[in-house]
Structure 1
């Protein structure tokens, strides 16, 4: 069915039907709802190109991924984020444009995107300390929302983030309350904002309890299973090994658990683990009872929130530079217990 046929069924002009479907304010709520229900009943889908011409917009959102981080393309965290964002794009009639670029050409990619006008805005992934992309995007005037934040940036920008510092402070306090004092930190790359904030939360909790920070039981690297495994084996082989680990990723935590198994140590009894859980679709944290005690925050939900915020900014529906800080939930699982004597 096309627009003309739908308009004929409703007894309305094509212009009125188009404006109702695209949310124009001059169309009454009663008419808008009538058109929406008819469109659903007759399985009508607006023509993307026609909608773009009518609104003067590309009706697309961009995601730029540097080649050096091409692992993001198969990273389940990125995949869940895109799945969440995609739900919003479909509902709002937007398409997604994914651009993979060489590391030293990322700035050029954003400038080309702006000049071509093939997207209405972009999502910024993996913000770093003083991330230069924020100043660039403000300079060229391309609407954007950051998934995360950039420590040290004095720019105005929109972002959606989880309270990583508070989450890891709570996780550390939980282990300290169980009597653990030697707590290792297996973190992500610490030029990344989330990892900076998670380390800060860990250190804050330890310092408040009067426990000296020991960098010999702290690690920072790309968050993979093998990294978690090797880091745990190395830390546990040293004198005065820790009785607990705080880990920045469920994937790394699986590696830590494998290291404990290799060493004949029982998780939750000999060594405790608290991890961060992005509530990944393909990697659930157990069934009724969580396997890992975890600070939980859905990256899929974050994808929905980021994309919705960006589209609303593009539409002028909300104030400039909105922000949203999500709190992680601490879920107690089978991976933690009192510190061993």
Structure 2
């Protein structure tokens, strides 16, 4: 592989000039910069990331932060898809990705360690919670980051990308109501997640609009474990006056509902209508195929990464808030009441 000295000889400049070009210095003339870049391309030079970082005082690495137990971090396909789209954007800027996963009680220590060791230049936070310690810490030290999710209390003072989850929850519930359902349950994820709070609020608003009284026995929240989803589905369906329809927080929960419904000899799409969120690959292949709200996961990840990369390249602070549209994808898991 070519060295900086060889690049310098080819471009007829000093090695220090090559180093400054690699560091993105604006003090080098356009003509010289062009000559150096052409030499780099001709000789196939690949800069060492560590050396490049030392010169530019950057790590050229973006941290992707997942605040949950490592063993449960990727049960939901949302994270696979969103990280894929983040990587595509970040890598196009010749930055690397550092995946940071932590139990909630240790997350501040992890973030502090990564920041103080200068291993990352910024973070993409993959969720937002009420009184979110990650947001509060990074905001307190003025470190660059973007959130996928609505940052409660910081809506106008941090970068974030999200769906209108209140409207999405409303739309999913209203879809069932228009099919004639009035006994509609809600199965959510952890109730400190802002996405859960917003979709549940939308569910309640739809019931209120149509004069339907919410029933506490029809409303369940769960942690990240499949077992808790299954237990909640069992409790909801094992009632004398069971619901005829369920709004599920995501496709993974809906699949557990399918399994429990089968144990009660209930046919999804006939005896029980189910609508969920995410439009994952599983939603198309499960039986029956799942009606779900497509939240455009790849678009969320791409926009979040682009916002962070813009922020890393700017000297002045501009906060960006982007709402990604959603749409209901109708399949076979819902029918008229």
TM (normalized to structure 2)?
A: 0.84
Deviation at 1:201, TM superposition (A): 0.7
2: CA distance, partners of 1:221 / 1:150? 21
User: Conserved in 2, the CA contact under 8 Å of 1:10 and 1:35?
Assistant: yes
Classify the secondary structure of the residue corresponding to 1:239: coil
Aligned to 1:292: 290
Deviation at 1:262, TM superposition (A): 1.8
Superposed, 1:43-58 pairs within 5 Å as 44-58=45-59
Aligned to 1:175: 176
Classify the secondary structure of the residue corresponding to 1:286: helix
Aligned to 1:251: 252
2: CA distance, partners of 1:18 / 1:176? 64
Aligned to 1:193: 194
Aligned to 1:113: 114
The alpha-carbon distance between structure 1 residues 210 and 30, as it changes in their structure 2 partners (threshold 3 A), is farther
Aligned to 2:240: 239
User: Conserved in 2, the CA contact under 8 Å of 1:190 and 1:196?
Assistant: yes
Aligned to 1:301: 299
Q: Which segment drifts farther, 96-105 or 24-33?
A: 24-33
1: CA distance, partners of 2:168 / 2:288? 17
User: Conserved in 2, the CA contact under 8 Å of 1:48 and 1:93?
Assistant: no
After superposition, give the CA deviation of every residue in 1:93-112 in whole Å (9 maximum; x if it has no partner): 11222345554343233333
User: Conserved in 2, the CA contact under 8 Å of 1:171 and 1:295?
Assistant: yes
The alpha-carbon distance between structure 1 residues 237 and 124, as it changes in their structure 2 partners (threshold 3 A), is same
Superposed, 1:138-177 pairs within 5 Å as 138-153=139-154, 156-177=157-178
Aligned to 2:335: 337
After superposition, give the CA deviation of every residue in 1:168-204 in whole Å (9 maximum; x if it has no partner): 1111111111101111111111111100001001011
Instruction: Tell me, yes or no, if structure 1 residue 230 matches structure 2 residue 231.
Output: yes
**Structure 1: which 5+ residue stretches go unaligned?**
none
Aligned to 2:211: 210
2: CA distance, partners of 1:318 / 1:325? 23
User: Conserved in 1, the CA contact under 8 Å of 2:268 and 2:288?
Assistant: no
Q: Which segment drifts farther, 8-17 or 75-84?
A: 8-17
Deviation at 1:10, TM superposition (A): 7.3
Aligned Cα RMSD in Å? 3.3
Classify the secondary structure of the residue corresponding to 2:318: coil
Instruction: Tell me, yes or no, if structure 1 residue 87 matches structure 2 residue 126.
Output: no
Q: Which segment drifts farther, 298-307 or 114-123?
A: 298-307
Aligned to 1:261: 262
User: Conserved in 2, the CA contact under 8 Å of 1:187 and 1:223?
Assistant: no
Deviation at 1:59, TM superposition (A): 0.8
Deviation at 1:235, TM superposition (A): 1.4
Superposed, 1:1-150 pairs within 5 Å as 1-2=2-3, 44-65=45-66, 68=69, 70-72=71-73, 75-101=76-102, 103-150=104-151
1: CA distance, partners of 2:85 / 2:190? 25
Aligned to 1:272: 273
**Paired positions, count:** 335
Deviation at 1:210, TM superposition (A): 0.9
User: Conserved in 2, the CA contact under 8 Å of 1:167 and 1:327?
Assistant: no
